[in-house]
Amino acid sequence: MNTSREFARILDQNDSLKDFREEFYISNEKIYLDGNSLGLLSKRSEKAVLDILNSWKTLAIDGWTEGEYPWFYLSEEIGKQFASLVGGESKELIATGSTTTNLHQLLASFYQPEGKKTKILADELNFPSDIYAIKSQIQLKGYDPNEHLVQVKSKEGHLLEITDIIDAMTDDIALIVLPGVLYRSGQILDMQAITHAAHERGILIGFDLCHSIGSIPHELSKWGVDFAFWCTYKHLNGGPGSVGGIYVNERHLGMEPGLSGWFSSAKEKQFDLEHELTPASTAGAFQIGTPHVLSIAPLIGSLTIFQEAGMESIRKKSLQLTDYLINLIEAELKDYSFEITSPREHDARGGHIYLTHPQAASICKALKADRIVPDFRSPNGIRLAPVALYNTFEEVWQTVLTLKKIMKEARYRKYENRRGVIA
Ligand X SMILES: *Cc1c(COP(=O)(O)O)cnc(C)c1O
129 lies in the site for ligand X, by CB under 6 A: yes
* Stretch of 75-83, 164-172, 205-213, 339-347 contacting ligand X, by CB under 6 A: 205-213
Nearer to ligand X, 228 or 373 (CB): 228
State in angstroms the smallest separation of the CB of 283 from ligand X. Answer: 18
Residue type at position 319 = L
Nearer to ligand X, 129 or 402 (CB): 129
Q: Is residue 179 near ligand X by the rule CB under 6 A?
A: yes
Instruction: Find the shortest distance in angstroms from Cβ 106 to ligand X.
Output: 13
Residue 34 found at the interface with ligand X (CB under 6 A): no
Q: Tell me, by CB under 6 A, how many residues bind ligand X.
A: 13
List 159, 231, 253, 361, residue binding ligand X (CB under 6 A): 231
Cα distance between residue 131 and residue 141, in whole Å = 16
Q: Judged by CB, which is closer to ligand X: 159, or 333?
A: 159
* Of 52, 53, 93, nearest in space to 287 by CA: 93
- Compute the least distance from the CB of residue 126 to ligand X, in Å: 6
Report the residue from 81, 99, 318, 399 that binds ligand X according to the rule CB under 6 A.
99
Going from the C-alpha of 89 to that of each of 72, 168, 283, the distances in angstroms are 20, 31, 10
Assess 209 for contact with ligand X (CB under 6 A). Answer: no
Identify the CA nearest to 91 among candidates 303, 231, 308, 286: 286
Q: Segment near ligand X (CB under 6 A), from 6-14, 53-61, 96-104, 153-161?
A: 96-104
DSSP string, 302-340: HHHHHHHH-HHHHHHHHHHHHHHHHHHHHHH-TTTT-EE
In Å, what is the CA distance from 236 to each residue of 78, 137, 372? 12, 28, 21
Q: Which is nearer to ligand X, 109 or 126 (CB)?
A: 126
Q: Binding ligand X by CB under 6 A: which of 15, 130, 226, 375?
A: 130
Please, which residue, 15 or 375, has the CB nearer to ligand X?
375
Residues 6+ apart with CB under 8 A from 305: 20, 23, 42, 44, 237, 389
Binding test (CB under 6 A) with ligand X, winner from 210, 236, 300, 321: 210
344-347 — which CB contacts under 8 Å span 24+ positions?
346/319, 347/188, 347/190
Neighbours of 387 (CB within 10 A): 28
Which residue of 32, 69, 82, 183 would you call a contact of ligand X, by CB under 6 A? 183
- Candidates 55, 81, 96, 100; binder of ligand X (CB under 6 A) is 100
Do 71 and 291 contact (CB within 8 A), yes or no?
yes
Phi, psi of 282 (to 5 degrees): -120, 180
Query: Which of 127, 262, 336, 415 touches ligand X (CB under 6 A)?
Result: 127
Residues of this chain that bind ligand X (CB under 6 A): 98-100, 126-127, 129-130, 179, 183, 208, 210-211, 231
